[in-house]
Amino acid sequence: MTVFRMISKRFTRQAGAFRLASHLVTKCLVMGVASCLAVAQAEATTVKIHLNQIGFLPEANKVAVVPNTVGGEFWLVDAKTGRELLRGPLSQAQSWDVAGETVKIADFTAFNKPGHYKVKVAEVGESPEFYIQENIYDPLLAAAIKYYYYNRSGAPIEKEYAGQFARPAGHPDTIAYIHPSAASNQRPAGTVVASAKGWYDAGDYNKYVVNSGITTYTLLAALADFPRLFADVRLNIPESTNAVPDLLDEIMWNLDWFATMQDPHDGGVYHKLTDLAFSGDGMPHVQNSRRFLLQKSTAAALNYAAVMAYASVVLRDYEKHFPGRSAAYLQAAQVAWNWAKKNPKVLYIQPADVSTGTYAKADEDLQDEWLWAAVELFRASGKKTFLNDVKLPAKPRVPEWDAVETLGLYTLATYSKIPAKLQQDAKQLLIDMANRMVREYWASGYLVAMTEEDYRWGSNAVALNKAMVLLTANRVSPNKDYEPAARGLLDYVLGRNPTGYNFVTGFGYKSPKHPHHRLSQYDGVVPPVPGMLAGGPHSGWQDKCKYPSRLPAKSYLDDWCSYSTNEVAINWNAPLVYVLAALRE
């Protein structure tokens, strides 16, 4: 029996998956044996040694960050007895401007014996407790996926599957209205359409094609790249008893909605389905405002084409479970592409009566979307004419909802039927990106490939998408520094950062308790939904909260008011899922 199935069986008996004892305790089920990670530790604002609060795989790099001190040694000690197990030298001191700190590194990579430990430095104190253990990330990976179940639109989240996070269904979206911005002869303003299912996008209750697209693609990539792993993941969701991986079942919930966002008359794709304004207080089932499909856009059409084309490829392996879906998705992708070719520069413009998220920029040229969609349609259809629209970028960006060219590079660099010259050029672009990240890794006092420009809205997802770039580059051109740099970015998100937070709710000794997530804010349950990645620090301060620091790496606030640093979002959790799976393999 795999550890995932043992986790599922245990949580099913307890009538609620991932029921956490408190938001200060992580229940780590390791090799089928329950053990508490950092149990009963205090809020620990005085802890000065920062490391991955979940722990380490035996053969992985293991690093802790220590404040600059006159001492030159650290000790690895048994967490229960205090017995010294390893003594090692601290690195030379190194500064990191984005944190305003000078620090040293305690590297205990060579120690690989499973157990329960602390890092100790005489002049500084002790680190939080952590484990070295096989499968240490399994509960976190499962919770990061289960987050999507909790965020389902149009479904009752039942106690059998959700425990204390159960809630009635919200926003069935079986009745939605065509907004005047989306009106056509076949669907005039006010036309009633159905657009059910999907995931709530972030802290709000709306659904956006372009953000849902990169999310769905990343999760599909995780399933495709690590099929054996996800074949054994059982999350205790309503579909867990079928013969399909639970990750795919969850993805299908969103793809079912995604398909409804295409106009069947002309193939165009609506940019979003939202209220006219962001929802107010309360759970989704008490929200009674009318919902609208907003203007079609070229970005939405290309995003849709890319995702549906890739979904058609992945679903070829599941034809008996979802008969006809692969072919239907490819057809839908091609129709969306044709609409985009006829309407190549239709940018989304926010109507005057709408104030929900735009997911659009006035100056976007859409070259990244054209590249991504063309590559995925070539892979799905085999038609070389799609490659005529592939124009490689001079300097590709880290993937985000508005920067998707690197998603196309992944396929160009790894798909066997890409023409040799084009594939080599794509590989080189990824290698160049990865090499820049390695330089950033060595330049950071924290050994983290993050620079000042990375500290923007969703900086934690920037970190994890950088890790994806490094891991993909390592597949096409192995390099001894790529995986350590990727692990460093995961370690950063899980606690090796200047804030001292593990940014995933419900895990580690210090994690967000008040994320900007309406479902967690208004459900009457003290801890937030587990497995959610907070956006992370940056000094943009778009909200009106009072932050502890202007330094980019420390400008984070665990407060509901901080939607600029403490919101959660589906596109941020997706690279967490991918990176956890990749580094577990």
| Pick from 395, 396, 420, 394: nearest CA to 410 | 396
Torsion sign over Cα 149, 152, 155, 156: positive
Distance in angstroms (rounded) separating the CA atoms of residues 250 and 378: 26
Q: Check 101, 138, 246, 558 and give the catalytic one.
A: 558
Q: Check 516, 523, 538, 559 and give the catalytic one.
A: 516
Spatial CB neighbours of 558, under 8 Å, sequence gap ≥ 6: 501, 512, 513, 514, 515, 534, 566
Termini Cα distance of the chain? 18
Active site residue 516: yes
Please count the other Cβ atoms lying within 10 Å of the Cβ belonging to residue 507. Answer: 27
Q: Check 101, 204, 246, 400 and give the catalytic one.
A: 204
Q: Are 495 and 508 in contact (CB under 8 A)?
A: yes
Please count the other Cβ atoms lying within 10 Å of the Cβ belonging to residue 585. Answer: 9
- At residue 543, φ and ψ (nearest 5 deg) are -100, -170
How big is the CA angle at 216 (ends 149 and 405), to the nearest 5 degrees?
A: 155
For residue 573 the two structure tokens come to 């959790």
| Pick from 497, 484, 472: nearest CA to 553 | 497
For residue 339 the two structure tokens come to 């609409």
Between β-strands 84-89 and 130-132, what pairing exists: parallel, antiparallel or unpaired?
unpaired
- At residue 396, φ and ψ (nearest 5 deg) are -65, 150
Spatial CB neighbours of 13, under 8 Å, sequence gap ≥ 6: none
Active site residue 246: no
For residue 234 the two structure tokens come to 């059982």
Active site members? 204, 516, 558, 567
